[in-house]
Amino acid sequence: MRYVSTFIVLILILLAGHARATDDKGRPPNIIFILADDLGLECVGDYGGLSYKTPHIDRLARSGMRFTHCFSNPYCSPSRAQLLTGRYPLHNGITRVIYDPPQHREFLDPEKETSFARLLQQAGYATVIAGKWQVSFLHERDTIRAHGFDEYQCWQIFHEGQKTSLRQNGKVLQEELRGKYGPDVNVDFLIDFMRRHRDQPFMVYYTSLLPHYPWEPTPDSDDPLKPADGLGDTKHMPDMVACLDKQVGRIVAAVDELGLSDRTVIIFSGDNGTDRRIRSKWTDGNVSRTVAGGKGTMTDAGTRVPLIAAWPGVVKPGAVCDDLIDFSDFLPTFVELGRAKPSPLPVTDRSFAAQLRGQKGQPRRWIHVQDHDKRYVRSRDFILTSDGKLRPVTQIGQPENKPLAEPLEPSAEAARHELQAALKAAAFKD
């Protein structure tokens, strides 16, 4: 009888865990994905950042799970395309930043690629994106809805030969934004979407414009709010990070206000490392140092980014996960959380939904990074480049390690064999 009682208790615990992962009607959770622009992990307080105030992001981390080894690509367009498709740049075709119309003719083709938004949309989710797109020129190819977003409000990049602001559901906004701060307008748009779709599962993708240059005042700055000339002034970087943090707080507060906290998973990350013109104070817990941003470099400073996930009742508060994560893993994670069908295209991804639930899951042994035709795979301790050079991993803020000389030590030789197989696996033929 004692064993029967124990079995019943175990069943009740499992059922309770399943109930927390859905709402009282059994629907999957809302998913809110916040992606910062040019924010390396050295900029976030809970990752050891000392130069910026990030209380809302830190609170999100302490209420949920902080991942220590999440990796992007070193530039925005390849990272964003990989996030959307779950496929590496050599497969989805976006291997460089898309920003120069005469030169950059590639775009993320919705007829060839499948996005997490489309898969969730097909599973019954209301889907929205606001902020930065940059996997096509919207004045030429407005492909956002074709990629599965019901609504959008994104930076247009260009309009009638001039740099412009936002495009909302096919309409270019100009007069509507006069005197307003674009990043705040994007958050307003997303919160309104959540209110209108509170009675069905929704996916909200906030691809923030902050704290990417031009560095300029925010509504909370002492200096007047006005567009910067050229790159702006890096003295405004702290205010822009603080503004991003405040927006994270606004989104979390809106979820609470709508009574959706227990049925919403909120995920925060960054698209690549911090701009190289930025210097930040950072500590690894032992030593404090000044760290130069590494955006555009094939190093941890350029590709190791924050990843935080909070989900009341499911993700254990204060949890830390040291598993390797790369940007192809977001699509299968969202698909699993949303009970959607997987991508029909070949991928090398790993869902980390199990880790969110406190389970072991299937951790990666390597991650993949790409810039143009340069690639590498990285394990916990070594990096192997596509030209065959093996080097030990360099910690953020430290000079890059030189490739190891032959003959290799046995542990390094074993790592090279494993990473050679990983490079080959990542470069499979479609």
3-state SS track over 219-258 = CCCCCCCCCCCCCECHHHHHHHHHHHHHHHHHHHHHHHHC
- The Cα 176–Cα 404 span in angstroms is 57
pLDDT above 90 as % of the chain: 82
Please state, in angstroms and rounded to a whole number, the distance separating the CA atoms of residues 281 and 50.
5
According to DSSP, the residues that pair with 310 across neighbouring strands are 266
Is residue 179 helix, strand or coil? coil
Give the pLDDT mean for 255-266. Answer: 98
Q: Cα–Cα distance between 423 and 420 in angstroms, integer?
A: 5
pLDDT the model gives residue 11: 41
SS3 363: coil
Please name the residue that has the structure tokens 């790159």.
231
Kind of pairing between the strands at 166-168 and 264-270: unpaired
pLDDT at res. 430? 81
In the predicted structure, residue 429 carries a pLDDT above the cut 90: no
Beta bridge partners, 390, equal: 384
Note the pLDDT of residue 7: 43
Judged against a pLDDT cut of 50, whether residue 398 lies above it is answered with yes
Highest mean pLDDT among 163-172, 307-316, 343-352: 307-316
- Cα angle 58, 183, 188; round to 5: 90
pLDDT at 253: 98
Q: Is the pLDDT of residue 6 over 60?
A: no
Q: Are 214 and 226 in contact (CB under 8 A)?
A: no
Mean pLDDT of 209-222: 96
205 has pLDDT over 70: yes
Spell out the domain ranges in the chain. 27-366, 373-430
Q: Give the residue-averaged pLDDT of 313-341.
A: 98
Band the pLDDT of 97: cuts 50, 70, 90: very high
The upper half-sphere exposure of residue 364, i.e. CA atoms within 13 Å in the direction of its Cβ, equals 28
The pLDDT, as a whole number, for residue 3 is 42
Q: Are 139 and 157 in contact (CB under 8 A)?
A: yes
Task: Tell whether domain 27-366 is in CATH 3.40.720.10.
Answer: yes
Look at 102-111, 158-167, 272-281, 375-384 and tell me which has the smallest mean pLDDT: 158-167
Q: Kindly report the pTM of this predicted structure.
A: 0.93
Q: Stretch 125-144: mean pLDDT, rounded?
A: 95
Handedness of CA 176, 178, 182, 184 (dihedral sign): negative
